[in-house]
Structure 1
Amino acid sequence: MEIMRNLIVALAIMISLPGQAETSEPYPIDYWALREVISNVEVSPDGKHVALLKIPTKDGDPIIEVYPTENLDADPYRVDSDPMEIQQFFWVSNDVIGMRLRQRVRDRIEGFNQGVYEYLLASVDIRRNKLKKYDQLGAEMENVLPGKPNKIIFSYLPGGDNNRLDAAFRPRTYYELNLKTGAKKLLLRGKLDMGQVEFDGNGNPWLARGFDIGKGELVWYERLTDRDRWTEFHRQDEDSFETFSVQGFDVEKPHILFVTANNGHDKVGLWEYDLKRGEYGELVYRREDVDVSGVRVHSNRWQEPDRVSGVVYAKDNYTVEYFDGVEMATQRQLEQVVPNSHYLRINSRSRDGDSLTVYNVGPRDPGTYYLLHKGRFTKLGSRQPLLEAENLADVRYIEYKARDGHTIPAYMTIPNGKPPFPAIVMPHGGPFVSELALYDEWAQMLANNGYLVLQPQYRGSRGRGLKHYTSAFIDGGQGGKKMQDDKDDGMLYLVEQGWAEPERLAIFGWSYGGYAALVAASREKQIYQCAIAGAAVSDNQMQVNYYRTRLRGAGKIEQLSMWDESISPIEVVDKVNIPILLIHGDLDQRVPPDHAEKYRKALLELDKPFEYVALEGADHFSNTLFYHHQKTLYESMLAYLEEDCGPGGL
Structure 2
Amino acid sequence: MKFRRVLASLVLALSLPAGIAAAASPAPPAGLTARDFAREPAIQGLSISPSGKNLVGIVSPDGDTRYIAIWETANPGKAPVILGAQKMRLMAVQFIKDDRLAVVAQQLFTVGTRATHLQKIYITDLKGEKWTPAIPDQKASSEQEEFANKTSNPSIVSILPNDPKHILVIDNRLDGQGDIYKVDIYRGTAERLYRGSDKYANYEPDWNGNLRARSYIDFDNGAIFIGQQFLNASTGQWEDHFRSYARDRNLTEVAGFSQDPNIVYVSKREKDKEGIYEYDLTQKKIVGPAFEHKLFEAGGVRQDKSGRLLGFTYLADEPRTYWTDEKLAAIAKGLGPALGVANVSVDWNDPAGGATAKVSYPDGAGAYVLDWSDDLKYVLVEKSGPNLSPEYYLLTDGAKLTLLGKSMPHIPGAALGDSRLVQYKARDGLVIPAFLHTPSKARFGAGPYPAIVLPHGGPTARDFLGWDVSGWTKYFTARGYVVIQPQFRGSAGWGDKLYRAGDRQWGLAMQDDNDDAAKYLASQGLAAPDRIAIFGYSYGGYAAMAASIRPNGLYQCAISGAGAPEIRRFQNRTYENRFLREFQRPTVGGVDLLDNAGKASIPIFVYHGDRDTTVEIEQSERFVAALKTAGRPHRYLAIKDMGHQFNLMTPAHVETQLVEIEKYLTTECGPGGL
Scaled by the length of structure 1, what TM-score is found? 0.88
- 1:569 corresponds in structure 2 to 593
Structure 1: how far apart are the matches of 2:571 and 2:164? 45
- Note closer, same or farther for the CA distance 1:280–1:109 as it changes in structure 2 (3 Å cut): farther
- 1:14 corresponds in structure 2 to none
Report the AA paired with residue 371 of structure 1.
L
Specify the SS of the correspondent of 2:602.
coil
Structure 1: how far apart are the matches of 2:209 and 2:232? 13
Is residue 83 of structure 2 the alignment partner of residue 79 of structure 1? yes
Deviation per CA, 1:134-164, whole angstroms, max 9, x where unpaired?
5445211121111112421111235279xxx
Is residue 573 of structure 2 the alignment partner of residue 550 of structure 1? no
Report the AA paired with residue 123 of structure 2.
S
Specify the SS of the correspondent of 1:492.
helix
- 2:547 corresponds in structure 1 to 520
Is residue 531 of structure 2 the alignment partner of residue 504 of structure 1? yes
- 2:43 corresponds in structure 1 to 38
- 1:149 corresponds in structure 2 to 164
- 1:461 corresponds in structure 2 to 491
Residues 380-459 of structure 1 aligned to structure 2 (within 5 Å): 380-417=404-441, 418-440=446-468, 441-459=471-489
Structure 1: how far apart are the matches of 2:87 and 2:130? 17
Structure 2: how far apart are the matches of 1:599 and 1:108? 26
Structure 2: how far apart are the matches of 1:105 and 1:490? 41
Alignment check: 8 A CA contact 2:183 2:189 kept: yes
Alignment check: 8 A CA contact 1:108 1:116 kept: no
Among candidates 362, 377, 401, match of residue 354 of structure 1: 377
Structure 2: how far apart are the matches of 1:498 and 1:585? 36
CA offset at residue 561 of structure 1? 4.1
- Note closer, same or farther for the CA distance 1:293–1:72 as it changes in structure 2 (3 Å cut): closer
CA offset at residue 409 of structure 1? 1.0
Structure 2: how far apart are the matches of 1:456 and 1:294? 25
Alignment check: 8 A CA contact 2:276 2:292 kept: yes
Among candidates 373, 381, 396, match of residue 396 of structure 2: 373
CA offset at residue 537 of structure 1? 0.7
CA offset at residue 127 of structure 1? 5.6
Deviation per CA, 1:390-442, whole angstroms, max 9, x where unpaired?
22232211111111111111111111112222111100000012332322231
CA offset at residue 562 of structure 1? 4.6
Among candidates 492, 502, 508, match of residue 472 of structure 1: 502
- Note closer, same or farther for the CA distance 1:634–1:466 as it changes in structure 2 (3 Å cut): same
Q: Which sits farther off after the overlay, 382-391 or 418-427?
A: 382-391
Specify the SS of the correspondent of 2:86.
coil
CA offset at residue 177 of structure 1? 1.0
Report the AA paired with residue 219 of structure 1.
G
Report the AA paired with residue 507 of structure 2.
G
CA offset at residue 66 of structure 1? 1.2
Among candidates 146, 152, 159, match of residue 174 of structure 2: 159
- 1:624 corresponds in structure 2 to 648
Q: Which sits farther off after the overlay, 385-394 or 509-518?
A: 385-394
Is residue 364 of structure 2 the alignment partner of residue 338 of structure 1? no
Structure 1: how far apart are the matches of 2:610 and 2:274? 39
Structure 1: how far apart are the matches of 2:23 and 2:618? 47
- Note closer, same or farther for the CA distance 1:227–1:108 as it changes in structure 2 (3 Å cut): farther
Alignment check: 8 A CA contact 1:109 1:587 kept: no
Structure 1: how far apart are the matches of 2:288 and 2:63? 52
**What is the total number of aligned residue pairs between the two structures?**
606
Structure 1: how far apart are the matches of 2:377 and 2:385? 26
CA offset at residue 552 of structure 1? 2.5
Report the AA paired with residue 164 of structure 2.
P
Structure 2: how far apart are the matches of 1:601 and 1:98? 45
Residues 130-279 of structure 1 aligned to structure 2 (within 5 Å): 130-134=130-134, 135-136=136-137, 137=149, 138-159=153-174, 172-213=178-219, 216-223=224-231, 226=234, 228-251=236-259, 253-263=260-270, 265-279=271-285
CA offset at residue 128 of structure 1? 8.0
What runs of 5+ residues in structure 2 fail to find an aligned partner?
1-21, 138-148, 342-361
Report the AA paired with residue 589 of structure 1.
T
Structure 1 runs (4+) deviating above 6 angstroms are 21-24
- 1:48 corresponds in structure 2 to 53
- 1:164 corresponds in structure 2 to none
Is residue 324 of structure 2 the alignment partner of residue 323 of structure 1? yes
CA offset at residue 24 of structure 1? 9.8
Percent of pairs identical after alignment? 28
CA offset at residue 197 of structure 1? 0.4
Residues 110-129 of structure 1 aligned to structure 2 (within 5 Å): 110=114, 116-126=116-126, 129=129
Alignment check: 8 A CA contact 1:246 1:258 kept: yes
